[in-house]
Structure formats: C-alpha cells, structure tokens
Amino acid sequence: MAKLTMTSRRWDELTALLKDEQRLQAEYPKVAEYLDMAARLRGTGD
C-alpha cells in the first residue's frame, strides 16, 4: 500500500476548514454530520 502524505499547505487548509463549522457544513455536509455524531459515540472519549 502506498504511503499517504500531506503537504503543510494541505494541513493548513484542513485545519482552517475544521475550525470553520459553517464552511464545513456548507461544503461538506455529510462530513460535518459525521463529525458531530462521532463525538457522541460511546468509547470515543478515551
């Protein structure tokens, strides 16, 4: 399997997107829905 890598620019873009909930919801609604739901799953707080 190929190793996955991300440039620092991509990390910055991802970080900005995850910090902007409105933008995340507008551009990637299913991802926003998943991230919201995943935080409430049992066993995710450890």
- The pTM for the full model equals 0.69
Please check whether residue 24 is in contact with residue 17, taking contact to mean a CB–CB distance below 8 angstroms.
yes
The tokens of 15 are what?
A: 């970080």
CA–CA gap between residue 8 and residue 22 (Å, rounded): 23
CA–CA gap between residue 19 and residue 15 (Å, rounded): 6
The tens digit of pLDDT for each residue in 3-39 reads 889 999 999 999 999 999 999 999 999 999 999 998 7
DSSP 43: T
